Structure 1
Amino acid sequence: MSACLLGKKVRYDGGSLAVANQVVEQWRADGRIVSVCPEVEAGMSIPRKPAEISEGCGESVLSGDADVIERDGGRVTHEFLTGASIALDLCHKFNIDVAVLAEFSPSCGSSAIYDGSFSGKKMPGMGVTAALLRQHGVQVFSQHEIEEANKAIQQQSE
């Protein structure tokens, strides 16, 4: 689960996106949560410059056809790829096949991300980590789909 959704202040602006949800609290009580912030795992600072995927989405970054760019033009593609790989390694290590990630993030967005213009516009697409996890069979949900994620977990237990 994205660390920011668990209240950890790891976002680019030093904030969090903490979700108050009974299902998440039950997962926490059951010890079912592995927390990750791909950017921080890759060594990026808190806070850090805003970054967006330029001319593409997570799949485009994975294929080498797009980059993750900071607002001032700095290229941070390598860090985002590294963070995604670390998240995938955690999924393998802990046998995780359901992830709940922060929507709109250039790492974690599962159905929509910012469009690369730093104007606040969103577009359909996945972030780098979400795309890599999905390529490897992990079901990825956003913080707005916790009930669906819980159903996916329950179906695996049957």
Structure 2
Amino acid sequence: MNIGRKIYYDTSGSILWDKGEMSGDVRETSYNEDLAVLPAIVDAAGFIQLGYGERTEEFKTMGSMRVIDGNLVIYPRINISASKLEVVADGVDYALITVSGVEVGGVVFSIDGVSLVQAVSAVDEVATLEFATNAIGSFVIVASTERNGAAMVAVKGV
């Protein structure tokens, strides 16, 4: 048997539990059975039952999801890339970080867990950050968004 996703959500539309798809020797479960597994759904405003395989392509690229007016809205995740603009003689690298797929708001960038900039605004769904560093070795840049999740890229310093 194949069973599609059952997604429980609260009154604000936030997802409480996405049970995912199931296949094989499985069966549909009741609310009480699900509540026994995850007591947090006691606060659920409802759930959405998808058919098996329904919206699979959207879930492959999902950054986040929520329920708005009883409809499941899936926001795609962002894409991040890094390129070196130039390396100057004093060992400082100039890097350009580009984040695409930003639907709403801005992007918060951090390097190795330390916040660089608060909410760089996106223009035409793209946010960019240009910065200089004399870091030695590799470091990780993370871009976080409100709806489209987060993504990271490793950049090699001087």
Range of TM-score over shorter length: under 0.3
Q: Which fold has the larger relative contact order, with Cα–Cα distance below 8 Å and residues 6 or more apart in sequence?
A: 1
Structure with the larger strand share: 2
Structure with the larger helix share: 1
